[in-house]
Structures are given as C-alpha cells and as structure tokens.
Amino acid sequence: MKKHTKALIDELCQHLGEDLDHPMCKELVQHIQECPECQFYLDTVKMTVNIFRETHKPESVPEDVKKNLLKSLNLQK
C-alpha cells in the first residue's frame, strides 16, 4: 500500500483552493478514485463529520458574539 508523505499532502492542500478545472484538482480527483488508502481516509472523514452532525445539533450564536467576531475580522457590513 502506498504511503503518502507529509510533503505530498501539504502540496495537495495548498492547491485545494484552486478552480476544480485546475490540473492539480483533476489529478487529485483521479488519485482518490484509484487509491484505496485515500478512499478509506475520505470515507472515514465523511463518517466522522456525519456522526458529529447527528450528535451535536447546531446552536445559535448570541448576536453580540457575532458582532464582535465580525468586528475582529474586519467583516462588518
């Protein structure tokens, strides 16, 4: 089974913000389709997210917390 180096993973992560038609994104999709190790990892992450969503229902954030966050991030309207 192929082991993935941290350098490779870092490189892929740097390109995740690219357009889906970007060659790196196409290569990533093809790799995931052909790599059982990556498929397993992706499936595990999806299951973890689903379990979290089922067990931790969303809660409302108080309005003053939202305002302070937006102000801190310079995203106020």
Q: Contact at 8 Å (CB) between 19 and 25?
A: yes
- DSSP at 46: H
Global pTM value: 0.48
Average confidence score pLDDT of the chain: 77
pLDDT at 1: 40
Spatial contact of 32 and 38, defined as CB atoms under 8 Å apart: yes
Q: Is 74 left (phi over 0), alpha (psi -120 to 50) or beta?
A: left
State what percent of residues in the chain have pLDDT above 90. 8
Tell me the C-alpha distance between 69 and 63, whole Å: 10
Reported confidence tier of residue 62, pLDDT bands at 50, 70, 90: very high
- Higher pLDDT: 67 or 13? It is 67
**How many other C-beta atoms are found inside a 10 Å radius of the C-beta of residue 28?**
18
